[in-house]
Amino acid sequence: MLVLPQPRGEISEAILAALARSVHPLAAPSPAVPIDPLSDEDLQLALYCCYELHYRGLPGVADEWEWEPSLLALRRDLEACFEAALTAAVPRPPPPGGPDQMDLALRAVADADDAPSVARYVERHATVEQLLELVAHRSAYQLKEADPHSWALPRLHGPPKAAIVQIQTDEYGNGDPARIHAQLFADAMDELGLDARYGAYVDHLPGSTLATVNLMSLLGLHRRWRGALVGHLALFEMESSVPNRRYASGLRRLGYGERATAFFDEHVTADAVHESIAAVDLAGGLARQQPALTGDILWGAATLVALDGRAARQMLEAWEDGASSLRIALPAGRGATPSSAPS
């Protein structure tokens, strides 16, 4: 991130103003419950800023803020609001017959998803501008891809730990920094003429997009949500190969080459492997080892479907209206047109 984001309301304003100074007890207004916490601009940006302190930090913000009790207390209130909205919006899916049926139960969660497919739209219809918007939305997570799920590593042991480590090893490039998935995404952004620096588009992203990332941080930072975090990752891996093939073919349709499609192509093959490991060995393995987490695993998967679905609807509705799906449209001429003409 290059500069601190612009505040979007009372809470984010109080947090951002405080963070710009050295660490001190924060006197923030106690948050009122917004109408729709799952897409509320102020709440989601405030949470996003709180969470970023646990990843790479925020520009110009003292490291000490990460563990400042008054900020953590405010974050807890914001999280309570986010969590209550999630609990209300996402019912608990029916449990599997046994841990050996976890893959079937997870697939049922995916099959119940009735949100329109952004990937299908991108494959067939998206304009270059819409494609660039999609990549900007995705950058909020993809530039730190796999990091929120890595919070699960110290909280697991035995077979599910071995399974998640195998997945994360691929996400982190198997020892080759150039193959780290977040780096492949940065390369794609660069090739598309977008700003690949971490956090460059935060001001552009609506609350519904920030919520998809905040969800992972919420589940990741609280050990009590380890089951849900695993379920979230499992469904993410299970629902990845086909959409990524569609994104790659959308890029090719618009004339983009290898450097732009590498991230998406890699995910077609990598996630064809990850799907089975995540559903059976990781999620099923955890349910076998700790049956009490079964319900949380499935609920975590369902929260992914719910929040991604909301973000997808909002994006496609904006595009249908011929509008930008971002809060602030990308600067005109920002995106590089493909170097080779579409065939």
Partner 1 sequence: MDEARITSYRDGPLLVRGPFRLEDQDGTAIDAGRDTIALCRCGKSRTRPFCDGTHRLVRFRAPSGAESRHAG
Nearer to Fe ion by C-beta: 149 or 204?
Answer: 149
Given a contact cutoff of 8 angstroms between Cβ atoms, the answer to whether 318 and 237 are in contact is no
Binding mask 251-270 for partner 1 (x = CB under 8 A): -----------------xxx
* By the rule CB under 8 A, 133 interacts with partner 1: no
Residue 103 binds what, of Fe ion, partner 1, none (CB under 5 to 8 Å, by partner type)? partner 1
Size of the site for partner 1 (CB under 8 A): 21
Residue 276 binds what, of Fe ion, partner 1, none (CB under 5 to 8 Å, by partner type)? partner 1
Q: What angle do CA 298, 230, 198 make, to 5 degrees?
A: 125
Instruction: Looking at residues 16 to 35 of the shown chain, list those that interact with partner 1 (rule: CB under 8 A).
Output: none
Which residue in this structure is represented by tokens 């929120």? 148
Residue 287 binds what, of Fe ion, partner 1, none (CB under 5 to 8 Å, by partner type)? none
Query: Residue 58 region, left (φ>0) first, then alpha (ψ -120 to 50), else beta?
Result: beta
16: Cβ contacts below 8 Å, ≥ 6 apart? 4, 5, 7, 49
Residue 137 binds what, of partner 1, Fe ion, none (CB under 5 to 8 Å, by partner type)? none
Query: What element of type H or E holds 165?
Result: helix 159-171
**Contacts made by residues 72-79, CB under 8 angstroms, sequence distance 24+:** 74/11, 74/15, 74/26, 74/28, 74/31, 74/46, 74/50, 75/47, 75/50, 77/30, 77/31, 78/11, 78/31, 78/43, 78/46, 78/47, 78/50, 79/47, 79/218
Given a contact cutoff of 8 angstroms between Cβ atoms, the answer to whether 80 and 24 are in contact is no
* By the rule CB under 8 A, 98 interacts with partner 1: no
Classify 206 as helix, strand or coil: coil
Binding region for partner 1 (CB under 8 A) out of 23-31, 132-140, 182-190, 271-279:
271-279
First to last CA, the chain: 37
Among 271, 275, 281, 296, binds Fe ion (CB under 5 A): 271
Among 277, 287, 307, 312, binds partner 1 (CB under 8 A): 277
Instruction: Looking at residues 153 to 212 of the shown chain, list those that interact with Fe ion (rule: CB under 5 A).
Output: 171, 181
Binding mask 139-178 for partner 1 (x = CB under 8 A): ---------------------------x---x---x----
Cβ 273 to Fe ion, closest distance in Å? 8
| Chain contacts with partner 1 (rule: CB under 8 A) | 103-104, 107, 166, 170, 174, 238, 240-242, 245, 268-273, 275-277, 280
